[in-house]
Amino acid sequence: METTAPTLSRKAQIDQTATALFRQRGYSATSMRELAAALGIEAGSIYSHIRSKEEILHRICFRLADEFMVGWREATADDAASAAQQLRRAIESHVRVLTRNADASAVFMHEWRHLSEPAHTEFLHLRQRYEAGFRELIARGAAAGELRTPDPAFAALTLLASLAWLPSWFRADGKLGAEQIAERLADQLLGGLAPFSPTSHAH
């Protein structure tokens, strides 16, 4: 017996198709006419559902920004957890958001620059706030001796830059699932911030 996927609303179909096109062709190179053609509808009728393609970009960028912030709050909510434990949870949460929808994540990472004002500035503020959270958490861990870095800001940027490549190579049907990737990336990134053990200089 065949199972049918749940029917998406027209707006959800438009968002899904536009997200894939924005990722494949880039936001600037994707026209409303191409989007309509990909959806199998008349170019003129698409405007009865959305005002512009930027409306879709805005929805993608701010929806994912919200998911990242929710994940961050959950990862750092336990005051009893050490900074290193909170950082691990934050990394794993970040990976889960990125892998939930690789097309949307790629658009979020690379196409946000096309947002017009005031959305562009608002998005930048959200991004800076999120990055600051990682920076402050790493600084707190370094001060407590749980993490090792001479420069928490550089460490935070390096960590987030390492994760930014994930949408370009993640495959939902790949050998590793999202949870396994989240765990391995957290191990790898936290390994680089681990304090030296007393025997680490022994030869």
Domain match, 24 and 79 both: no
Residue 160 domain flag:
yes
Cβ 178 vs Cβ 94: under 8 Å: no
Domain match, 45 and 114 both: no
Q: Domain of 135?
A: 53-191
Domain match, 125 and 186 both: yes
CA atoms within 13 A on the CB side of 110: 19
- Residue 132, pLDDT score: 95
Domain match, 31 and 58 both: no
Report the run of H or E that residue 44 belongs to, with start and end: none
Residue 68 domain flag:
yes
Distance separating alpha carbons of residues 201 and 203, to the nearest angstrom? 6
Cβ 59 vs Cβ 18: under 8 Å: no
Q: What is the domain-level CATH number for residue 166?
A: 1.10.357.10
Domain match, 39 and 96 both: no
Domain match, 94 and 22 both: no
- Residue 198, pLDDT score: 44
Domain match, 13 and 34 both: yes
- Residue 6, pLDDT score: 54
Phi and psi of 137, rounded to 5°?
A: -65, -45
Q: Which two three-digit tokens encode residue 80? A: 């009893």
Q: What's the total number of domains in the chain?
A: 2
Domain match, 126 and 33 both: no
Cβ 147 vs Cβ 194: under 8 Å: yes
Domain match, 142 and 70 both: yes
Domain match, 33 and 105 both: no
Residues 6+ apart with CB under 8 A from 131: 156, 157, 160
Domain match, 144 and 70 both: yes
CB atoms within 10 A of CB 188: 11
Residues 6+ apart with CB under 8 A from 156: 131, 134, 135, 138
Residue 200 domain flag:
no
Domain match, 88 and 175 both: yes
Among candidate residues 51, 66, 85, the one where a domain is terminated: 51
Cβ 71 vs Cβ 94: under 8 Å: yes
- Tens-digit pLDDT string for the chain (203 aa): 444 445 668 888 899 999 999 999 999 999 999 999 999 888 888 888 888 999 999 999 999 999 999 999 999 999 899 999 999 999 999 999 999 888 999 999 999 999 999 999 999 999 999 999 999 999 999 999 988 888 999 999 999 998 888 888 877 777 877 788 888 888 888 877 877 554 444 43
Query: Residue 167's closest CA among 113, 94, 112?
Result: 94
